[in-house]
Chain A
Amino acid sequence: MFDSLSSKLQNVFRNLRGLGRISESNVADSLRDVRMALLDADVNFKVARDFVERVKAKAIGQQVIQSIQPGQQIIKLIHDELVELLGAENAGLDLAGASVSLMMVGLHGSGKTTSSGKLARLLQKQGRAPLLVAADVYRPAAMDQLETLGKQLDLPVFVKRGETDVVRIGREALAFAEANQRNVLIFDTAGRLQIDEPLVQELVRLREVVQPREILLVLDAATGQEAVNVATHFDQALHITGAILTKLDGDARGGAALSFKSVVGKPIKFMGVGEKLEDFEPFHPERMAQRILGMGDVVSLVEKAAETVDAEEAKRLEEKMRKGQFTLEDFLAQLRQMRSMGPLENLVGMLPGGGDMLKNADLSKSEKEFRRMEGLICAMTPLERRNPQIMNARRRLRIATGSGVKVSELNNLLQRFGQMQQMMKKMGKFQKMLGRMGGAPPPGLFRR
């Protein structure tokens, strides 16, 4: 996500970091590169221009030129500006009250129906009783699609086949919700162009009937310069309350996200990160900015880990690592935990500099390798896992045959495991040393 922009900006920063002092022309050069990177990332050209102007005004000042590490300062400036551009903090949904309605609007194919399903799942998990309302009367089989999603989620869907009047659907859905004790209605409307006046007016009429608390614009992350037009038009007609950014699992550079908030002034509330219904997350501007700058989304990674990893277990492992008592058994447990966190490409993308790595590495290959390692370790006896040194030639041959690989591959694994253990021991010592010096870990860029 945002990989390309990150790597471009990282290049800029690499240059900046190398500089001891920053002159005015240096700043101008780098900022031109930043502007280019933003434009290539589909940030609206006016937004990009303002952004660069703002940073420039701040950069060419006393504080930067006289500071000890001007490069770091500029990075901080750009980061802060990006955070501001994306919206200062995560904004949740306003769901106060007994029964509320949400309206999903947007262009064709931006992901309204899928996002409706994802949102319903999320609200259900939060203890609400959502009702999906099929209000797309134009696209063939759109109602079927929502109904299928409802079935997958085990949630009711209000469908009125053959009805072409959206307003009537709205009215009846409200009555249905009241009769069936559903307290959040999600209206999945048809995709429409922002300039299609009759269709936009239809949404205005629906809004008047259902009085939605939230009107969410569903926006494809790959949207180009047009994002600004789309957002402004929908906002003028409907007063949208926020946006959902979709298809962020691709390599779209995400300029749409950067433009949206600064032009419309409404927060991005959620993001879609995959085709499955659970691939839906709250949008965190702070994290996104860090991610764009190639600082990695460490917070998300930790949260993701917390969801799947048993905290006790993790603590025990960490302790073992520090003491250099990390065995193949622990390694196996770790491999499995990692795999339960999802595909590798998603994880690596969250690490600092991971975007860069991802570009060169064929992760499906490493994923396969992980599976092989798992197979190899599974073929060992518990005793062997705890004491790798007892594995003699006969044992090795048995393990290799048992897991269907050549002995050389097993040797390779054991050798790498040995190296890993060495490294962990060193790291443990290093941490202890730091602790004695009374210093916190080095001021990481990923924690502002």
Chain B
Amino acid sequence: MGLFQKLKAGLQKTHSKLVHEIKRIVTGSPRLTGTTLAELEAALIGADLGFAMTTQIVAAVKHAYETQGGAGPDVFAIAEAEVARSLAANEPALKRAANGVTVVSVVGVNGTGKTTTCAKLAHLIQDRGETAVLAACDTFRAAAIEQLQLWGERLGVPVVAGAYHADPAAVAHDAITAAHSRGAQFLFVDTAGRLHTKSNLMKELQKVHRVMGKKLPGAPHEVLLVLDATTGMNAINQAREFHKAVTLTGLVVTKLDGTSKAGMVVAIQKELGLPIKFIGVGEQPDDLQPFDAGQFATALFSEKG
């Protein structure tokens, strides 16, 4: 950067600050006090939005608050609107294949609730009067297949399973065949939990998807990453790495019935533009709700102090 440019950039900053200040005086807006700012910052960071995202939102809120006039909404209302706006461009419904069975692959790290989410999704489809098939592709963790099978029995949904330590891609392949022959509209593939840092396991996941794509062009139509609401900033790494490996189409945030706010999805949305499709709010089959940006933002700032 040359000296002139530097000077210009510096002046630009002063200029916009000046304009902002004049606007503030003209509109008679209150100035944001240090304590309110600190409170807002604490609320955002406490909700796991992360430092970078928090700084951005605080700056935007500050700007909006100080130029809105004396009778405008309070700081937290602006912040809420800001968060809701950044999450708004969403399409919560599940995509559908043009014809035949729609394959939904459910992926994520260990213990986020993939199996439960699969079961809940199947329940949701059944409630709509359509039929679903579950595929137990977690052939690694002890009793993972039994867990899905028990869900299948409970819900009356057929479960396609292989043996433990079988190739998950083979199970997925068979599941597509089974879903076809049953004339099911949806197939939910429950994959094994894997840390996004294990390259061999990520490759295994890619293989599962590749095999499904060969068996049924276009499959999987949806790839949903399941995120635990209690996860902090690592969720961004998880989303980034899974997206790199298998191209995600959406997120499911689970365990939102606790006190955690899952603010990290704001940063994920910002970086990767992945829509949040569903949220899990309990252990019962119907505790899966479509995502609502407004509600989410409200919850983010509730009971915080």
Given the complex of chains A and B, what is the CA–CA distance between A194 and B154 in angstroms? 27
Q: Which residues of A contact B199 (CB under 8 A)?
A: 364
B228 interface residue (CB < 8 Å to A): yes
**A250:B146 contact, CB within 8 angstroms:** no
Q: Using known A-B contacts A42-B234, A110-B111, A230-B230, determine if residue A249 contacts B195 with beta carbons closer than 8 Å.
A: yes
Produce 1/0 per residue, A337-369, CB < 8 A to B: 000000001000000000000000000100000
Query: Can you list, as one digit per residue, whether each of A4-46 has a CB less than 8 Å from chain B (1) or not (0)?
Result: 1000000000000000000000000000000010011110010
* Contact (Cβ within 8 A) B141 A222: no
One of B23-31, B120-128, B255-263 contacting the partner: B255-263
A253 to B231, alpha carbons, bound, how many Å?
11
Query: Complex Cα distance A194/B255, Å?
Result: 12
User: B231 touching A223 by the CB < 8 A rule?
Assistant: yes
Asked if B142 contacts A224 (CB within 8 A), the reply is: no
Q: What's the least CB distance linking A271 to chain B, in Å?
A: 14
**A42 and B111 contact, CB distance less than 8 A:** no
B232 in contact with A255 (CB, 8 Å): yes
Spot the interface stretch: A137-145, A260-268, A301-309: A137-145
B92 within 8 A of partner (CB): no
Asked whether A45 lies within 8 Å of B46 as measured between CB atoms, the reply is: yes
Residue-by-residue, is B31-54 near A (CB-CB < 8 Å gives 1, otherwise 0)? Answer: 000000000001001111011100
A225 touches B48 (CB 8 A): yes
C-beta contact mask, B215-239 vs A, less than 8 Å → 1, else 0?
A: 0000000000000111111110110
For residue A193, CB closer than 8 A to chain B, the reply is: yes
Who on chain B is nearest to A143 by CB? B143
Among B45, B112, B143, B154, which residue has its beta carbon within 8 angstroms of that of A109? B112
* B: number of interface residues (CB 8 Å): 47
In the complex, whether A108 has a CB less than 8 A from a CB of chain B is yes
Shortest C-beta distance, B139 to chain A (Å), equals 13
**A338 smallest CB distance to B (angstroms):** 18
Chain B residues 130-151 with CB under 8 Å of chain A are: 140-144, 146-147, 149-151
- Kindly list chain A residues whose C-beta atoms are within 8 Å of the C-beta of B231: 220, 222-224
Nearest B residue to A35 by beta-carbon distance? B51
Chain A residue numbers with a CB within 8 Å of B147 are 139-142, 144-145
Interface mask (A212-256 → B, CB under 8 Å = 1, otherwise 0): 000000001111111101100000000000000001011111011
B240 to chain A, nearest CB (A): 11
Tell me the smallest distance from the CB of B263 to a CB of chain A, in Å. Answer: 8
Say yes or no: B110 contacts A40, CB within 8 Å: no
Q: Give the CA-CA distance A225 to B149 in the complex, in Å.
A: 35
Question: Is B150 a contact partner of A140 (Cβ separation < 8 A)?
Answer: yes
Interface: B21 (CB within 8 A): no
Tell me the residues in window 102-145 of chain A with beta carbons closer than 8 Å to chain B beta carbons.
Answer: 107-111, 113, 138-145
The CA of A110 and the CA of B193, in the complex, are separated in Å by 12
18 contacts between A and B (CB under 8 A): A4-B237, A39-B45, A40-B52, A108-B255, A138-B283, A141-B147, A142-B143, A144-B147, A145-B143, A145-B146, A148-B143, A193-B257, A222-B228, A224-B260, A225-B232, A230-B230, A251-B234, A252-B232
* B interface list, Cβ under 8 A from A: 42, 45-48, 50-52, 109-113, 140-144, 146-147, 149-151, 154, 195-200, 228-235, 237-238, 255, 257-260, 264, 283
CB-CB nearest 4 A-B residue pairs? A224-B232, A109-B111, A42-B232, A145-B143
A residues apposed to B, CB below 8 Å: 4, 36, 39-42, 45, 107-111, 113, 138-149, 152, 193-195, 220-227, 229-230, 247, 249-253, 255-256, 275, 345, 364
